[in-house]
Each structure stands twice: as C-alpha cells, then as structure tokens.
A and B are shown apart, each in its own frame.
Chain A
Amino acid sequence: MKQLWARIRALILLGVQALFIQPLRRLRRLGKSGESRFLEAYAPSGLLPLSELEEERRFRFSGCIHCGLCDVSCDARRNARGAEIGSLSGIVIGYSRSMTDYSYARLSVEQFEQCDDCDICEAACPVDVPIREIITDIREHMVRLAEVPGSRGGGGFRS
C-alpha cells in the first residue's frame, strides 16, 4: 500500500513538472534562441561559436615557428622605434596560444593598429603563415564580440 502511494505521489510530481513548471519556464524564455542564450553566457568571456570558415582557417594559421622574421621585415615597425609599436610575431604567437576567445591575440592586435596590408611579412615568413588573414580574422572576431549585448566588447582578457 505504501509503495502504491509513493508511486502515485511520484507521478503527480512528474505531472506538475510536465504540465506547469516546464511550460512556464519555456514561456519565460520565449523569443530567445539557443544561440542568443549561448552568447549571453559566453560572450563576456570572449567566446563565440566558430563558423566553418574559422575552423578551416585555424589549421592553416598554426604553422608559426617563432623565428621573428616577420617583425624584422615589417615596414610599419621599420618606421617606428621598436619600443613604441607592438610585435607582429606576437599576434601570430598569441593566436596559436589562445583558445577560441583569442585572448592573447586581441591584445596584440590592439597594439598593432599600424598594419597597412602590404605583404612584406608574408614574403619573409619561412613557413608561409598567412599573417594578414590572421589579423583580419581577429579584427572580425572583435567586431562580432562588440555586437553582442552585454559582452563589454569582449573584455574577458584585460590587464
């Protein structure tokens, strides 16, 4: 008898969940897609879902052997004193050290606004890393981050 009452109670609880509590929850979330909830949760840390293009790029971007030849041949750095401008190799290295929040690379890109899209760095790279694409990729990522409400412009990594 006790068992029977326990079972009936369990069924009632399930029924309340299914017929009232869950539908009320769904109603509260109405209009917000799964993606927007993901973004709300993770964008403040700088994490965004990767597009297929970004996935494909990540493989090609990771050949850097840390030789620093891109820094040496960069025109923008040649015309500035080394201490006043960020490091170009820092962007590539920062990219490969970051998770998909690109945390280290974002800082490096901000310190390197002077890139004017010549191709000297890519010509100097022994392993053909597509450096300009990396810079473009990160800048696009930063723009997308800034568009998410509440992301604080991707302020997850700031010193």
Chain B
Amino acid sequence: MSVLDAEILVIGGGMAGVAAALSAVEAGRRVALVKRAPGATSMSTGAFDLAPHPRGWHLAKPDRDPTQLECLEALVRASPGHPYALIGRANEAEYLQEAFSFVLEKLEAGGLPHANFDPRDPGHHAVTSTGRLRRAASSQASHVLRDFNPDRARIGVVRLARCLGGLTGPPPMGGNVIEVDWPSSKNAPFLLPADIGKLLDEEGESRRFVEIVVAACKGRGFSHIVLPPVLGVFRTREILNELEEATRAVCCEALGGEASLPGIRLENALRRSLERAGVTVETGRTLDGAEVLERRGGPVVLASGRFIGGGVARRQGSMTETVFGLPIHDGESYLDDQPAEMLSCRSYRGPHSLFRAGLRVDDLLRPLDMGNRPLHETFFAAGSVIGGYDPHVDGCGLGVAVVTGYRAGRLAAGLEAS
C-alpha cells in the first residue's frame, strides 16, 4: 500500500506526528506516517514542558511554584494567538491529563519510562544542562530530582573530563562540582554524550564508572548527585540504581543540552511506539503537496515541524510552509512577503514574528486560507508547524506537540467533532 492511499496519513515523525498517529490507531484506524529526517524532537532535552513559570524559572522560589495549569492560563492570557487558546479544551485539566497520559504510557511501553504528569501540581524538579534548577511537566524518569527539599539538600554535580555537552555553569543551590576523570581516552579529542552512553551500556565500563564516582563523592554528605545525561542509551535505570545503592544519595541525570542523548532516546522510543502500534512508516521521504491533494480523499495530519523539522522555511526571501505552500501567520497577522529580516526584534523575549511563524488554524486544528476558511474538512495540523507561539521562549514545545498531536489524531479519526 502506498502511504498516500492509507486511511489516515500523517506527515512528519516528531512528537506531534507520532502522537497523532498513535491516537488515530487507538481509535481503530489504519495509519501511515511519512517522515523526512529527525527534527527538533530528536534534539529535545528529555523534559516535556506544558507552560513556563510566568516570570521565568530563574526567578522562581523553589517552595512557592504555581501549578502547571496556572502557568498555562498565564501563557494563554499573554498570548491570545497561542494554540492552547484555540483549543478550548486545552484549559481543562482532565483533557491535558488524558493527552499526556496517553503519550507517556506509549513511551513507557516503548521502553522509556517518564515521570507522572498532573497539571494540578507544579511539575517535578530537574536540573538543566547549565546546572539550573527548574520544574518540568514530565521528563524521562532518569531526570527527576526526587525528594528535593531546598532547605536540606546538599547537591553534588559530576563533571566528566572530556565530555562534550556535559554540565556547564555553577551547580544549583550552592552545591559542589565533582570532577571525574573518566573515560580516559588517548585518541579522541572529545566524546559526544552518545559515545559515552554507548560505552556505559557495557557492564564492565559502567561498573568502573560507578566505582570512580562513588570514590569521588565519599564522605561529602551529598543528599543529591546530579550526573551528565550520558548514563547509557538503554541501561540508564540500572546504572542509576547502582549509583544510588553505593552512594546512598538520590542520583539523577541533568537534562540534555548540545548533542542531547535524551533526545535520541526519545526519538528511538517514538519509533518503537509506532512499530508496536502497527503504523506504516516511511522514512527519508519528502511529499509533494500537490500530489497529496490530488490522490487523497481521506484525512491528513500535517506535523512537519518548523525550522529544524523543515515544515516552515524561507524561500525566495519570505517565509512559507514547505509541503503545501500554505500562507504563514504569527498569531496576529499573516506574514505575506515580508523579508525574514523585518520579522525580528531586539529583546530575546520580545514578540518576534519570525519565531512564531506557522500555519493559522481553527479550533479544530484545520489550517485556514487567507479568507479564514478551513482548506479542507479533514486536513489537520499539529505541532510546531502551527504558528502563534514560540516553542522555546514560551517553554511549551513538547506540550503543544502532545496536546495538538493527540487531538489532531482523534479529529482525523472522526472523534471530538465540534
């Protein structure tokens, strides 16, 4: 069966596309998914964020954090063009719980357990790749900074000698840095997190590593030890268990940074979830929008991503959607032919049209034409190809992907009709 003839076609294989494919399969449909190459999801940190702290996590006091639902409501008030604002149900705790639980269960079944998600709590603690303390909606289980009491915690941060992408910046809460000279490699000038992860998947190497870390932390009285996100591609849980037993401290990985290994783990788990669900997957393929429109009667979900995924790009000076050539919107107005240089501003947190560029959609996630009409009854969009928000500054990348992906899949399968 050509993917174009599938009952439901999903274009794009990041978090949004996979969430859509899985929720459509759950509703009993036969789904095909086409992807070009890894995108932003494969470079994510390991954390899912629903919405950010309204004033920024670096200003937050650890013991008085708002709930995630409150953060989302603040975000929607500040950005009326945000996808969360369009989907009325995104403000309901039950719906958020449903969408997230669905995706996280699939990931766990695919071999990558995550922290429990509840939008009514502030989220769990985690440490970023620059050593900052923050909260996340959910993360891969290895990132959770459990039992964290800001008044009593003594934090040790492990740094590996030649690891690219290891922790940078001062440790959180006045903690201590523990320099560990492992691995000692004469040949390679630096090692990527995935290289070290592969090495630690070998039992002999991980045992040696645990011994060295335990010796370096002995007698320091740490309650929590934060390690760089390199603890094996597959054996992360085992390695952390060994470390916790030997050090008697809570051990966790920091979130991923450059060349993120957690992002690769997520990409692998998404692929396994698609396999388990029986979705037909084609990789390395870019679809021609005209061909899709010609051959298809059935539902299509476009989840082609934004700049990294390649769903939104600059062609001949102005921004365009790359599969169907649809017009680009920033949540307030269409970008038309404005050159990309005119769409930015000085402040990092300012309202950059460029970084909110994407499709305009209605409350049923259907892309709209310039006359505000849906292009097709069963043509949906999900993830960062939708405009009106900045996944990075707005701190909601994977959150939007999960909520819109889950919903788009169900809409494509005929559920959740208006």
Contact = CB atoms under 8 A, between A and B. Distances in A.
Given A67-B259, A68-B194, A82-B198, A124 B38 contact: yes
Contacts of A83: 183, 185, 187-188, 191, 195, 199
A123 interface: yes
A72 B233 CA distance: 11
A117 to B, nearest CB: 17
A82 B308 contact: no
Highest count of chain B CB atoms <10 Å: which of A65, A83, A84, A111: A83
A66 interface: yes
Interface string B25-59: 00000000000011100110000000000000000
A135 interface: no
Contacts of B336: none
Given A126-B38, A126-B308, A86 B258 contact: no
B264 A72 contact: yes
A122 to B, nearest CB: 9
Interface residues of A, number: 24
A128 interface: yes
A71 B199 CA distance: 14
B178 to A, nearest CB: 22
Nearest to A66: B258
Given A82-B191, A82-B192, A123-B283, A69 B308 contact: no
Given A82-B199, A123-B284, A124-B37, A68 B308 contact: no
B115 interface: no
A125 B37 contact: yes
With a 10 A CB-CB cut-off, give which of A66, A82, A111, A128 has the most chain B CB atoms. Answer: A82
B304 to A, nearest CB: 12
Contacts of B189: 90
A68 B192 contact: yes
Interface in A100-124: 111, 123-124
Interface in B181-210: 183, 185, 187-196, 198-199
Contact of A67 (B43, B185, B195): B43
A18 to B, nearest CB: 54
Given A72-B264, A82-B199, A126-B310, A87 B258 contact: no
A65 B263 CA distance: 15
B391 interface: no
A127 interface: yes
B299 interface: no
Contacts of B81: none
A81 interface: yes
A128 B46 CA distance: 24
A86 B37 CA distance: 24
Contacts of A67: 38, 42-43, 259
B20 to A, nearest CB: 20
A69 B259 CA distance: 7
Interface size class of chain B, counting residues whose CB lies under 8 Å from the partner chain = 20 to 34
B188 A87 contact: yes
Q: Interface SS of chain B: helix, strand, loop or mixed?
A: loop
A77 B192 CA distance: 12
Contacts of A111: 187
A128 B194 contact: no
Contacts of A86: 188
Given A123-B37, A123-B284, A124-B37, A68 B188 contact: no
A66 B396 CA distance: 23
Contacts of A68: 192-194, 258-259
A127 B258 CA distance: 16
A65 B308 CA distance: 9
Nearest to B309: A126
Given A82-B191, A87-B192, A69 B42 contact: yes
Given A71-B194, A72-B194, A127 B199 contact: no
Contacts of B194: 68, 71-72, 82
Candidate in A66, A72, A77, A86 with the most chain B CB atoms within 10 angstroms: A72
A81 B37 contact: no
A126 B37 contact: yes
Contacts of B283: 123
Interface string B313-343: 0000000000000000000000000000000
A111 B185 CA distance: 14
Nearest to B205: A81
Contact of A127 (B185, B191, B264, B308): B308
Nearest to B261: A72
Nearest to A125: B37
Contacts of B259: 66-68, 71, 89
Given A81-B199, A126-B309, A126-B310, 6 more contacts: A71-B192, A81-B198, A82-B196, A83-B199, A123-B283, A126-B38
Interface of B: 37-39, 42-43, 183, 185, 187-196, 198-199, 258-259, 264, 283-284, 308-310
Interface of A: 65-69, 71-72, 77, 81-87, 89-90, 111, 123-128
12 contacts: A71-B195, A71-B259, A72-B192, A77-B195, A82-B194, A82-B199, A84-B188, A87-B192, A89-B259, A111-B187, A123-B37, A126-B310
